[in-house]
Amino acid sequence: MSHLAAIYGCAGPQLTDAERAFFRETRPWAFILFARNIEGADQTRRLIDDLRRAAGDDNAMVFVDQEGGRVQRLKPPLARLRRPAELFGALYARDPQVAVEAVTLNHQLIAHELRALGFDADCAPCIDLRLPETHAVIGDRAFGREPSEVAALGRAAMDGLLAGGVAPVIKHIPGHGRAMADSHLELPVVETALSTLEQSDFQPFRALADAPMAMTAHVVFTAVDPDACVTLSNRAIETVVRGFIGFDGLLMSDDLSMHALGGSFEERTRLSIAAGCDVVLHCNGDMAEMRAIAEAAPQLHGRAAERAADARSVARREQAFDPAAAEARLEALGLNGRLAA
């Protein structure tokens, strides 16, 4: 069974006839949902089932961005509001062991909430460093500044998601922390020396190189490739992502509709795949853009198909878990997510 090497969003809380026909025709590997798609528990489950039926694959993966803090597509009553990563980093500075426990429980709870609605994958954890120059688009989404701390908490987040039956996506490989621009709006350029990047920004990703999936950074590192951002750079992906970092899981692009990228959607797709992305991500549900991507994206095959199968295989494997006890433990630590909506 072949699939288009793409992850697509959809426009609203129900599929239109045009979307259903398009997904049936193109058979994308996976889907991603956003707040615009989510109105209630039963509606979300129906939409997920409809997406899978349209793709002709009951096991098609469905992603969401559910980090906690500012990036949380599911809100009460479907899911508790969770604390941002930086607060777990502050706890780590006081008690590393307790912080690791808290992050693990927090992310297993996130996974528990996601699985109840039918999601299999979470675009988390964010393991970018938070440096003095880090743009606010990352900000409190980062666990902290020290690579070892970020790696430890990123590992805990990944372990919690996996224990809850949800496949994690580490992002934004090989690091967005030195970017001083928001790649949703413009292309960030980082001029830091390669030796510094290898000793700092790249280290959390190297420590989590066994992650099943990673999302690229739409960031130019002039020390690696001055002419293209990581998503579009074969040099960056081969020498840094697959090379120095040693990541061999499924590599997805960040959203192709972000303004960091230029050119047509066919060009963005071809360049991403040629650079070494296994699948491309498109989030906004714009049908014309999705059709253009479908014209240029290949069918999953070879090593990319193997990575996709491996990523799918780690989802839906929930371990026995007591969510009430986990919530109580986080509450005792002041991290239970009881925040104002």
SS3 at position 246: coil
Evaluate whether 6 touches 280 at the Cβ level (below 8 Å).
yes
Instruction: For residue 66, give the amino acid letter.
Output: Q
Look up 254 and say whether it is catalytic: yes
Q: How far is CA 50 from CA 20, 219, 239, in A?
A: 8, 35, 40
Q: What Rg, from alpha-carbon coordinates, does the chain have?
A: 19
Look up 112 and say whether it is catalytic: no
* Bridge partners, residue 167, by sequence: 121
Spell out a b/e string for 203-227, using b for 16 or more CB atoms within 10 Å of the CB, else e: bbbbbbbebbbbbbbbbbbebbbee
Give the span between the Cα atoms of 7 and 299, in whole angstroms: 12
Find the catalytic residue in 65, 128, 254, 278. 254
Cβ of 73: how many Cβ atoms within 10 Å?
Answer: 22
Orientation angle between helical segments 96-117 and 41-55, nearest 10 degrees? 70
Q: What is the DSSP letter of 49?
A: H
Evaluate whether 167 touches 120 at the Cβ level (below 8 Å).
yes
Q: Which residues are catalytic?
A: 184, 254
